[in-house]
């Protein structure tokens, strides 16, 4: 694994011990899994990739065979690419694929070295005629992936989790997540560590919050 100056985080799960076991302990080998993951986000206006190192631990305290993510380290992030289009209804697959290949090279990784990941097309990009074929292409060439064209509800939920709004709401406060994209704006109300409600408005939003078009 390459060393990059990116932060890492430990998962805080209620009822689970905070300290990780000693990795020198031979028992730890069967209780721990390390994965390389990549997320490819193709949005209405921009696209980017994030490579991560995931550490999973068996839920031994619960007599379970399930594993839970206990640590995430971001090891490489791509520059932001303006999502390329060949026409109003077609994404430029050649330029997008070249961007992904270049990012793998910059990260010092190869597709066959990726254990898991996700390719997600969001917003207006998901409405383009070749969106599904792009998902299929990246799933085949870039590693082992879950692929999805995200609808407005899924987009709102992902933004709420990614921004930290869901985690912050666990303290008892209601938290509003506002995701302003290139073609849509998504809202999500978070309470008690869950997304309680979400909605979407198509079109741009001005700085004062008024819809610029419909």
Q: So what's the pLDDT on residue 3?
A: 41
Q: pLDDT for 139-155, tens place per residue? A: 776 557 777 777 778 88
Q: Measured between alpha carbons, how far apart are the two ends of the chain, in Å?
A: 47
- Cα–Cα dist 50/39, whole Å: 5
Instruction: Spell out the domains of the chain, with CATH numbers in brackets.
Output: 8-150 (3.30.420.40), 152-214 (no CATH)
Instruction: Split the chain (214 residues) into runs of 10 and give each run's mean pLDDT.
Output: 47 48 55 89 92 87 73 95 94 94 94 87 86 81 68 84 92 91 85 89 48 44
DSSP 207: T
- Cα–Cα dist 150/134, whole Å: 14
Is the distance from CB of 187 to CB of 159 less than 8 angstroms? no
Percent of the chain with pLDDT over 90: 37
Mention every residue, 6+ apart, whose C-beta is less than 8 A from residue 213: 203, 204
Q: So what's the pLDDT on residue 190?
A: 96
Q: So what's the pLDDT on residue 22?
A: 52
Burial-class residue 174 by CB neighbours within 10 Å (0-12, 13-18, 19+): exposed
DSSP E strands, the chain? 8-10, 32-42, 46-58, 67-77, 81-82, 85-87, 90-91, 116-121, 146-149, 175-180, 184-191, 194-202
Tell me which residue of 172, 180, 105, 117 sits closest to 148, measured CA to CA.
Answer: 117
Q: So what's the pLDDT on residue 26?
A: 54
Beta bridge partners of 8: 73
């Amino acid at each position: 694994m390459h060393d990059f100056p990116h932060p890492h985080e430990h998962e805080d799960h209620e009822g689970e011990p905070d300290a990780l076991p000693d990795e020198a302990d031979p028992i730890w080998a069967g209780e721990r899994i390390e994965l390389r993951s990549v997320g490819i986000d193709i949005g209405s206006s921009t696209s980017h990739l994030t490579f991560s190192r995931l550490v999973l631990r068996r839920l031994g305290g619960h007599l379970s065979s399930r594993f839970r993510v206990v640590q995430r380290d971001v090891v490489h992030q791509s520059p932001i690419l303006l999502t390329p289009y060949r026409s109003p209804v077609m994404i430029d697959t050649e330029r997008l694929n070249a961007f992904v290949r270049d990012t793998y090279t910059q990260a010092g990784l190869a597709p066959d070295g990726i254990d898991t990941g996700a390719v997600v097309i969001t917003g207006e990009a998901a409405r383009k005629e070749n969106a599904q074929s792009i998902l299929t292409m990246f799933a085949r060439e870039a590693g082992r992936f879950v692929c999805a064209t995200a609808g407005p509800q899924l987009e709102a939920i992902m933004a709420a989790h990614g921004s930290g709004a869901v985690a912050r709401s666990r303290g008892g406060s209601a938290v509003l997540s506002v995701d302003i994209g290139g073609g849509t704006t998504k809202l999500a109300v978070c309470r008690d560590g869950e997304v309680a409600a979400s909605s979407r408005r198509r079109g741009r939003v001005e700085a004062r919050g008024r819809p610029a078009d419909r």
